[in-house]
Amino acid sequence: MPGTLLVVDDEQANLDSLERVFTREGYRVLLAAKGETALTLLRDEPVDVVLTDLMMPGMSGQELLRAVKAVAPEAETVLMTAYGTVEAAVSAMKDGAYDFLTKPLKRHAVLKSVAQALEKRRLVQENRQLRARLAGGTTSIVGQSPALRSTLDLIAQAAPSSATVLLLGESGTGKELFARAVHDHSGRAQAPFVPINCAAIPETILESELFGYERGAFTGAVQRKEGRFERANGGTLFLDEVGELTLPMQVKLLRVLQEGEIERLGGTGAIKVDCRVVAATNQDLTARVREGKFREDLFYRLNVIQVVLPPLRDREGDVPLLADHFVARFAAKNGKPMRGLTAAAQQALAAYTWPGNVRELENAIERAVVLSRNPEIDLSDLPEQVRAGGPNLRAGAPGGLAGQAMQALIEGRTLTVPLGTTLDEIELRVILETLRHANEDKNLAAQLLKISVRTIYRKLNREKE
């Protein structure tokens, strides 16, 4: 069948006539006598094209058009009216209408318009599918740059094996998405994918989270609990921020990788586990090995297949694709009809270097969608640092945590600290200020301050105590 068409008109004779015309052409036709009914149908039924009258009691056709863009953004809309004016046509097209027809309708004209709207929708879908194929078949990874395709080709080669994969890359490059791509393209795709952030969980809790515990193993252990390794049995365990593991935890992880078995806290016997490990870090593990902070034998166990994720600044042409993807996602999430970005906004996105990578772009677009008062995101809707063309933070200053943080904030930023403020309070205030400028990205803040992510979590947890 050509597709599904929703016809909306307050005159029953028009509905009946259009239903006969489109049914003869093989369309699946849904009918609604008012905009409110049409919206209910759109929520319940997949619709390719909406053909709606412009002048209707209650919800007008133009109001329905805006609602369609929020409820079913992939559907194309064709407006029809007996009161066709240039102003109405221009206004409708600005709101995202595909075409504008005047009554009385001519059969060949309405069929042609709907067919062309349907063809446009199909081309958009094919383009989206093409992007997904270029991104290794994983719809969450958007882009078609040579750097991204090279990375995904390596993942596609590595995924079917059982080898451990180590993902390296800057903060915000999407390590968990790539880890899921490894899982989805492996023979374990139907089994669980279990992620854990090694930096976000205190060391005293991390061991029980990974390996589980028996009842009575410690105060509060009222029943047995499976750890992440057991939950990932048959599937994939993703160890994010693996560079933050302490040396004692590194020894225990190494044993699991070598022996393929774990022992719960308070347990007396080994438990066999079969899970593929994918690890990720934004740290230089070879440097940490030289410094004695990361075990060399564990590094080689994790680094069987190394995949370096490209930063967004090296993914030429991917920024507009990602921006469109995020606009569509957050417009649907917030119920706002958005058509995309103005030329000025697109130029600003292309000129910015994105130190926070894809995560920073995602945050910037979500903010713009929420704050924009127009159907297109304009330059004024973007964050200040994107409009200015570059970030205001710079890392690399010496002198301890407080000294490094203060230097990172000096250029373009001033942090006033009253005399008598304790060093702990200074450090906490600088961390909070850095997080604010890094859009709450703890990994980026840690890079800027030249400290570990675990230090940031520890300082913040201490504040809550």
Structural domains present in the chain:
4-131 (3.40.50.2300), 146-308 (3.40.50.300), 312-388 (1.10.8.60), 400-464 (1.10.10.60)
pLDDT at 394 over 60: no
Q: Which two tokens stand for residue 182?
A: 């490894």
Element spanning 333, H or E: helix 318-334
pLDDT band, residue 419 (cuts 50/70/90): low
Examine the pLDDT at 446 and tell me if it is beyond 90. Answer: no
Residue 455 sits at the vertex; the CA angle it makes with 451 and 460, to the nearest 5 degrees, is: 130
Whole-number pLDDT of residue 408: 45
- Above 60 in pLDDT, residue 372? yes
Q: State whether residue 276 is helix, strand or coil.
A: strand
Which pLDDT band holds residue 403 (cuts at 50, 70, 90)? very low
Give the percent of the chain with pLDDT over 90: 46
Distance of CA 241 to the CA centre of its chain: 19
- Residue 411 in this model has a pLDDT that exceeds 60: no
- Going by C-alpha positions, the residue among 130, 181, 178 that lies closest to residue 357 is 178
Condensed to tens digits (0 to 9), the pLDDT of residues 22-64 reads 999 999 999 999 988 998 888 878 899 999 998 888 888 888 8
